[in-house]
Structure 1
Amino acid sequence: MASSYDSDGSLRGSSPSYSPSKKLTTTNHLRHVESMAKMPSGAGAISHLNAVILGEDLASEENDLIFHSAEFSQQALVPSPQKYLEMYKRSIADPAGFWSDIASEFYWKEKWGKEVCSENLDVREGTIKIEWFKGGVTNICYNCLDRNVKAGLGDKIAFYWEGNDPDHDGKLTYNESLHRVCQLANYLKAVGVTKGDAVVVYLPMLMELPITMLACARIGAVHSVVFAGFSAESLTQRIVDCKPKVVITCNAVKRGPKVINLKDIVDAALVESAKSGVSVDVCLTYENPSAMKRETTKWKEGRDIWWQDIVPKYPTTCAVEWVDAEDPLFLLYTSGSTGKPKGVLHTTGGYMVYTATTFKYAFDYKPSDVYWCTADCGWITGHSYVSYGPLLNGATVIIFEGVIGWD
C-alpha cells in the first residue's frame, strides 16, 4: 500500500498538522484491523481516512491502513516524508554535492576530479558512457573490511552461515573475514591473477562465495559469479566470453535432499570452452563435505586443487590494489533466456556508493541489526544486498545454503 503526499510532506487529503489521533472526514471510510494497533510499533487505530494507491482511490476491499507512532518514526534514518523530500530535492538540484557528501563517508586514496558524474547517452555524440567519481582512487574490499576493522568492528560478526543441513552452521567476524580474504587474494596472485584479470566463480551459498568476491576486488581482479544452478552449457558461454585465469568452484552442494555435483558441471564446461580456444589452467575447488567427500570427486591432476589444502597456507595480510573509481569490479551476465548471455560490467566507485546508500536507507539499517537477504550471489541482488551493501555498512549478514521450505 502506498499513500500519496503533498509537496509539504503531508498526507494527501490531510492537513499538514495531521496526527494519527485525529479523524479525517472523507467519503472513503477505511476499515482498520484493531489487532494491528497492538503491534510493537505502537500503531494506533485509524479510521475515516482517505488514502491513495498510485493515484487512485482505494477499493473498499483494500482499506486496511496502519500508521506507526511518531516515536517509532523518529528512530528511522528517514523519519518523515518531509525529510525524504528534502533529501530527494537536494539530489535533483545538487547531485554533485549530494553524492559527494555520501561518497566522502568511505575511504579514498585519492579524491575524484571536478566532475562527480558525467554521461553521454546519445550515440550521435560519441561513445556511450556513464562515469562516477572518475579519477578517484579506492578499493571496495578495503572499504568493506579494513575500514570497519579500523573503526573497531573487528570482533563483530560479519557472516552467519546456515547450511542446508540444520546441524551445519558457521560464522566469521570482520577480522576473520579479512584474514580469509587476504589468504585467497595471495593465492590468486601466486597463480598469476593480476589487476583486470577475470575470475569465474561457480559456488553455492557458502561463506567462501563473498570471500572470493572480496579477494578478487582486493587485488583488482574482475569476478564473474555464475549462479551454481546453471548448466555446463551456460557456464561454458560465460567462460568463453570473459576468458578467466581461474575458475573457483566446490565439489558439490545439497539443495534440500538433492545432491548437485558442481565439479562435474565445471569439468564439462572446461572441456567445451577449450574447444572454443579458451583454456583454464587452474580450477580451485572447495570441499563441501556435507554434500560430497573428496574421495568421490572427479579430479584432473595439474589443473584442479583443493581450496583447503592450499589457501590456508598463505599469509593473512595482503596489500590492497588501489583502483580508479571507473575500473571494473565485476562482470555479471544476463540469464540468456532471450539469446546469448550479455556481460554487464559494473565499475567500482559508483557501485560502491550507490549500493551502500540503498542498503542503508531502503532497509533502515541499524548497527544492532542482523540482516538476511534470501537472494543468491549469482544474481545482482545477492551481489548488492548479501555482500557489498551490508559489509560497506558494517552489518551482520546471514548466508543460507539450502532452499526455503515448510513442513
Structure 2
Amino acid sequence: MSEPTLGCKMLDKQALASQANQDLHRVLHARSLAKPESFWAEAARAVHWDKPWDKVLDEDCAPLYSWFSGAQLNTCYNAVDRHVEQGRGMQVAIQYVSPVTDTEYGITYDELLAQVSRLAGYMHASGVKKGDRVIIYMPMIPETVYAMLACARLGAIHSVVFGGFAASELAARIEDAKPKLILSASCGIEPSGVVPYKPLLDAAITQSRHKVEQCIILNRAQYSAELVEGRDSDWQISVASAEAIACQTVAATDPLYVLYTSGTTGQPKGVVRDNGGHSVALSWSMKHIYDVGPGDTFWAASDVGWVVGHSYIVYAPLLVGATTVLFEGKPIGTPDPGIFWRTIEKYRVKSFFTAPTAIRAIKRDDPDGDFLRDVDLSCLKTLFLAGERCDPDTLHWAEERLKKPVIDHWWQTETGWPVAANLMGTAPVEVKAGSPALAVPGFQVEVVDELGEMVPTGQSGNVVIKLPLPPGALTTLWNNETRYLDSYLSMYPGFYLTGDAGYMDEEGYLYIMSRIDDIINVAGHRLSTGRFEEVLCQHEAVAEVAVIGVEDKLKGQLPLGLVVLKKGVTLSDEDLHRELIALVREHIGPVASFRLVSVIQKLPKTRSGKVLRGTMRKIADNQSYKIPATIEDPHTLDLVRNALTRMGYADALV
C-alpha cells in the first residue's frame, strides 16, 4: 500500500479538527441544557454586578421564566464606564462612517461616557426616571447610540423606532409604549436624498391618543426642523449645558428596552428584553460565536431600528470593550458595491456581519468581484450572514470572492441573539451551505409535526425551542402577556414556536427553509419556497429570487417565481424560462409543477432586507393587503403586480 499524499494528510487533519470541534460544541450544548444554572453563572462572570443574584434561573412563574432574579446591575455601566475605569478610555468605541454625508470620525470610550452621561443628565432633569419609556426615532448617527445608552444609564426603557416610519406606525408605538419623552432628529439620509423625520414625528404625536409633552430634536445640517415651543428642546444646546449623571442601578429582570416587531393582527408586538440576561448572553456570544474581544473591531451592517442593531451594533460590541462600526449608507449606491470592502480594510474590521440580501445586491452589481481586487482584507477573519435565509449560491459566491469563512446563522427579534450558529471563537465546525449549523448552547431546538411529535431526520416540520429560553431572549410582550402566551407558547406547551419551518440532518445541522406560512401545498405535497429559491439561485444569470405559492383550482397551490437578473445578462426570456423550469425539475422533480416564472427588476423588501413574500402572495390571489410600514420601496409592489398580471395573476394596475 502506498503512503498517503501530503494533501490527504492535510485533509485528514482538517476532518479530525472539524470532528473534534463538533464534539466540543455538543459537550458545551449538552452542559448548557443539563446544568443551565452553572453554565450561565459561569458566563455571567463577564458582567459587572452591583448585587449578585438569588437565583440564576427562576422557574416559579413558568412558563414565564426569568434569569438572575435578585441581581442588580446597569447595562450602560457595563458597556461604557467600566472600560474607562479599566484604563481604556482612549480606545475608539464607535467608528462612525457615513458615505451619504461624506463624514467619518471615531468616538473614544472617554468621549462616549461624556456624551451619554450629559444626555442622561438632561433627561433626568426633564423628569425621566427608572421605568419610564423613551421613544428614539433617529437615523444611523452616533447620537442614536448615545440616546439608547442614556436610557440604560437612567434605567428608563427605550423603544427605538426605525427612522422614517410612517406617522401612523409611529403613532401606534407611541400609544402602546406611552413614552415620557421622544428623542428624534430632523432628518435621515437615503441614497435617494434627505428624508425629513420631524414632520412625521409631529403628525404621529397629533394622531396618537397618548400626548407626548417633551421631545429632544437634533437638527442636522441637511435639514433644519422647526421646534414646537413648549414641547421641543434643541439637542445641541440642551446637552451642552447639562450636568453628567451616574448610572442608576436596576434589577436584572427590569426591562432594558421594548422593540416592536410586526404582528399578524396589524398591531405591532412589543418584544421586551431584560437587563441581566441580555448582558450575559450578548457577552457570551461575542466571545464564542463572533470571536471578538476587547480592542477588536466589529461591524454589523444593519440599522439600530432592528434587533441586529440593538444587539450587535450597540450593546454586544461595547459590552466586551470592542470597537463598533456605525455605518450610515447602503451596500450599493453609496457610492458603489465596493464600499463595504473598503470600509473593512480602512478600519481593520475583524468580524463582519450583514444580511444575505446585501451580498446578493453586491453580487448583482459586481458579479465578478471587480471592486474587491485592489482591497486588502487580511484583517477580516469571518463574514457572518443573517436576517434572511442564505441560499448556497450566495454563500459560495462570497466564499470564492473573499477567500474567508462565510458563516450563516439564524435568530429572531424575539431571541435577541443566535439560536443556531457556528461557534467561530470556540469550536468552528464544517460549513454546510444552506444550514446555520448547530443549535447554540442554551437553545434546545427540535423539529415537530402539527401534533407536536418529533419528525424523522431530514423531514421538514415546525421549528420549536424547548423552554426555558436561555438568557437574552424575550421575557414577554409589552403590556400584553396574554398575546405573548398565545403567539409563542400555546401551540406546543413547553415549547416556544419560532414560526419557521425546516429540518435537521443526521449530524444535527439545522436547515431553516421558510416561514411556516411559506410552505406551499402542491397536490398534497408540502414544499418549501426556500428550496425552490435555493435551486433557482444556482442559475448563473440569477442574482436573487422570491418564490410564492399561488392559488390553483386543480392542485391547490402552484409555485411562482420572480427572479432578478445579474447586470449584463443577455439570455432571452424564452431561454431563461426554459432553463429555470428544467433546473427545478432536475433538483425537485415533476411533483413541483413549476411553470410560472418571470423576471422582475427589483423585489419588494423591508428596510432590514426581508422579502415581502406574504404581501406578494396576497397580490397574486387578489386579496386585500396593507403596504407594510417597513417597506423600503413601495414602487416595487407595482413591479410585482405587473409581473403577476402578465402571468395571469393579480389585477392589472389601473
TM-score (norm 2): 0.48
Is 2:208 aligned against 1:281?
no
Q: CA deviation at 1:368?
A: 4.2
Is 2:53 aligned against 1:112?
yes
The match for 2:133 is 198
Q: Which region of structure 1 is more displaced relative to structure 2, 79-88 or 139-148?
A: 79-88
Whether contact under 8 Å (1:163, 1:400) holds in the other structure is: yes
The match for 1:22 is 8
Report the AA paired with residue 402 of structure 1: G
Q: CA deviation at 1:147?
A: 1.2
The match for 1:307 is 235
Q: How does 1:142-181 map to 2 (within 5 A)?
A: 142-165=77-100, 167-181=102-116
Taking a change above 3 Å as real, the CA distance of residues 286 and 19 of structure 1, as seen in their structure-2 partners, is farther
The match for 1:224 is 159
The match for 1:344 is 271
Whether contact under 8 Å (1:333, 1:342) holds in the other structure is: yes
Q: How many residues of Structure 1 are paired with residues of Structure 2 in the alignment?
A: 330
Report the AA paired with residue 280 of structure 2: V
Report the AA paired with residue 143 of structure 2: E
Instruction: Specify every segment of 5 or more residues in structure 2 that has no aligned partner in the other structure, as ranges.
Output: 337-654
Q: CA deviation at 1:227?
A: 0.7
The match for 2:563 is none
Q: How does 1:252-401 map to 2 (within 5 A)?
A: 252-273=187-208, 276=209, 278-289=210-221, 291-292=222-223, 294=224, 297-315=225-243, 317-336=244-263, 338-401=265-328
Map Cα deviations across residues 312-335 of structure 1 (whole Å, 9 max, x no partner). Answer: 1112x3121101110111011112
Q: CA deviation at 1:394?
A: 0.3
Q: CA deviation at 1:336?
A: 4.1
Q: CA deviation at 1:386?
A: 0.5
Taking a change above 3 Å as real, the CA distance of residues 69 and 91 of structure 1, as seen in their structure-2 partners, is closer
Q: CA deviation at 1:371?
A: 1.2
SS at match of 1:343: strand
Whether contact under 8 Å (1:197, 1:221) holds in the other structure is: yes
Report the AA paired with residue 346 of structure 1: R
The match for 1:91 is 32
The match for 1:6 is none
Whether contact under 8 Å (1:195, 1:221) holds in the other structure is: yes
Distance, in Å, in 1 between the alignment partners of 2:257 and 2:6 is 47
Percent identity, please. Answer: 39
Whether contact under 8 Å (2:46, 2:280) holds in the other structure is: no
Whether contact under 8 Å (2:164, 2:188) holds in the other structure is: no
The match for 2:512 is none
The match for 2:511 is none
Distance, in Å, in 2 between the alignment partners of 1:159 and 1:386 is 9
Whether contact under 8 Å (1:164, 1:254) holds in the other structure is: no
The match for 2:643 is none
Q: CA deviation at 1:299?
A: 2.6
Map Cα deviations across residues 259-278 of structure 1 (whole Å, 9 max, x no partner). Answer: 100011100001111xx2x1
Map Cα deviations across residues 119-178 of structure 1 (whole Å, 9 max, x no partner). Answer: 47xxxxx67412000000101100011111122211110001112436212221011101
TM-score (norm 1): 0.76
The match for 2:402 is none
Moved over 3 A (4+): 18-23, 66-70, 79-83
Instruction: Specify every segment of 5 or more residues in structure 1 that has no aligned partner in the other structure, as ranges.
Output: 1-17, 24-43, 50-65, 74-78, 121-125
Map Cα deviations across residues 270-319 of structure 1 (whole Å, 9 max, x no partner). Answer: 1111xx2x111111011211x21x3xx2331111111011111112x312
Distance, in Å, in 2 between the alignment partners of 1:383 and 1:311 is 23
Q: CA deviation at 1:349?
A: 0.5
Taking a change above 3 Å as real, the CA distance of residues 166 and 237 of structure 1, as seen in their structure-2 partners, is closer
Q: CA deviation at 1:21?
A: 4.6
Whether contact under 8 Å (2:160, 2:304) holds in the other structure is: yes
Q: CA deviation at 1:337?
A: 5.9
SS at match of 1:309: helix
Map Cα deviations across residues 165-215 of structure 1 (whole Å, 9 max, x no partner). Answer: 362122210111011100010000011001000000001110111111110
Whether contact under 8 Å (1:20, 1:67) holds in the other structure is: no
Is 2:43 aligned against 1:102?
yes
Taking a change above 3 Å as real, the CA distance of residues 89 and 231 of structure 1, as seen in their structure-2 partners, is same
Map Cα deviations across residues 8-66 of structure 1 (whole Å, 9 max, x no partner). Answer: xxxxxxxxxx999536xxxxxxxxxxxxxxxxxxxx6x5xx9xxxxxxxxxxxxxxxx9
Distance, in Å, in 2 between the alignment partners of 1:270 and 1:222 is 19
Whether contact under 8 Å (2:216, 2:232) holds in the other structure is: yes
SS at match of 1:153: coil
Taking a change above 3 Å as real, the CA distance of residues 158 and 280 of structure 1, as seen in their structure-2 partners, is same
Whether contact under 8 Å (1:223, 1:329) holds in the other structure is: yes
Q: CA deviation at 1:388?
A: 0.7
Taking a change above 3 Å as real, the CA distance of residues 119 and 164 of structure 1, as seen in their structure-2 partners, is farther
Taking a change above 3 Å as real, the CA distance of residues 211 and 337 of structure 1, as seen in their structure-2 partners, is farther
Taking a change above 3 Å as real, the CA distance of residues 170 and 89 of structure 1, as seen in their structure-2 partners, is same
Report the AA paired with residue 191 of structure 1: S
Map Cα deviations across residues 102-133 of structure 1 (whole Å, 9 max, x no partner). Answer: 112211111001x211247xxxxx67412000
The match for 2:413 is none
Taking a change above 3 Å as real, the CA distance of residues 146 and 253 of structure 1, as seen in their structure-2 partners, is same
Distance, in Å, in 2 between the alignment partners of 1:236 and 1:67 is 55
Report the AA paired with residue 281 of structure 1: E
Higher RCO structure (Cα 8 Å, ≥6 apart): 1
SS at match of 1:133: strand
What is the aligned-residue RMSD (CA, Å)? Answer: 2.5
Distance, in Å, in 2 between the alignment partners of 1:94 and 1:179 is 41
Whether contact under 8 Å (2:92, 2:107) holds in the other structure is: yes
1:208 to 143, 154, 160: 143
Distance, in Å, in 2 between the alignment partners of 1:394 and 1:109 is 19
